[in-house]
Amino acid sequence: MEVEDRDDLCFPQFPNTSCWKPLPPWPQTVTIMLYSISLITVTLNLLIIISISHFRQLHTPTNMLLLSLAVSDLLVGLLLMPVLVLRKTSCWFLGDFVCSTISLINIIIPSASIGDIVLISVDRYVAICDPLHYTTKVTARRVKFCVCLCWLCSVTYSLLYVKDLPTQTDKDKFCYGECFPSSDSNSLLFDLFINFIVPVTVIVALYLRIFVVAVSQARAMRSHITAVTLQHSVTPKAKKSELKAARNLGVLVVVFLICLCPLYTVTWVDYNWIVALIQPSLIILYLSNSCLNPVIYAFLYPWFRKAVKLIVTLQILQPGSSETNML
């Protein structure tokens, strides 16, 4: 019996300090699903990054925000998904430094994604509610600054959130063979407030305002009163273009909230067998958002489908391909 118990330890040679191997193990189908989603996520988001970076016509302020979101989604598929499978299916043999680094990345990337979604909502809010001043308020330089600030804030927040990890002593660790940094209730509450309540409130408030203004503009167009809107006058073509962009990015935001909210909600429910049963599915749902975003682009943005065709056929390697008309 003692031999069997030792076989279930991550480090059998240290029976008093070793963690137990992950029990119950994840179903093999879940592991295969996550690895598949990881591969698809990396591939699709890499296509987005190449598309927006290569074709000059796509260097718009809105697309820069989509580019930042694609980078964070790429890192989710490249790092977070494989590490999650590793944590759930085997003991941690990569040491404390790698664990601390992964823990930092595990906070930076989702925080940056949430920040990008907030910036996208602000971008659409200005475009719909103040269209005449959009080009002066939302410039490429300002968007780049906001994106850099978003990532800088994410890095700073992650360092504050896991500030005690690198200095933990052996007495602070429950056992060896795991990489699940423990957080107190105050840290979890702070994270809930910063990474969920505040951004979701801002996103919902902005899109409710966008919805009200969009409905007003749509009614104005239908009644041929194109010179008068809720705030300014714009041409019918410009109105239609901005409304379509708001709708497309609205789909992106709604899908993001659908993937984000269940996991954060369950985090604050008392842990029981029901939570243990559904938590893996909610984690997969949350991470799969990084894979769904490029799929949304494929359905809603003709430029993305055209760019993928040019990339796959290697036409982007031809001289002058960056000047191709994509719109």
78-106 pLDDT, tens digit each: 998 898 888 878 888 887 788 888 888 88
Least confident stretch, 55-64, 144-153, 162-171, 201-210: 162-171
The verdict on residue 296 lying in a domain is yes
Q: Which of 228, 200, 202 is nearest to 216 (CA)?
A: 228
The verdict on residue 182 lying in a domain is no
Q: What's the mean per-residue pLDDT of the chain? A: 80
The verdict on residue 177 lying in a domain is no
Domain that holds residue 46: 28-166+187-323
Residue 69 has pLDDT above 80, yes or no: yes
The verdict on residue 3 lying in a domain is no
Residue 261 sits in a domain whose CATH number is 1.20.1070.10
Quote the pLDDT of residue 218. 66
List beta partners, residue 18.
176
User: How many structural domains compose the chain?
Assistant: 1
Residue 213 has pLDDT above 70, yes or no: yes
The verdict on residue 270 lying in a domain is yes
More confident residue, 49 or 170: 49
Q: How far is CA 250 from CA 7, 18, 197, 254, in A?
A: 52, 48, 19, 6
Quote the pLDDT of residue 3. 44
The verdict on residue 178 lying in a domain is no
List the structure tokens of 236.
């019918």
- What is the pTM for the complete model shown? 0.83
The verdict on residue 153 lying in a domain is yes
For 323, residues 6+ apart whose C-beta sits below 8 A from its C-beta are 56, 57
In this structure, are residues 22 and 9 in contact, taking their beta carbons and an 8 Å threshold?
Answer: no
The verdict on residue 173 lying in a domain is no
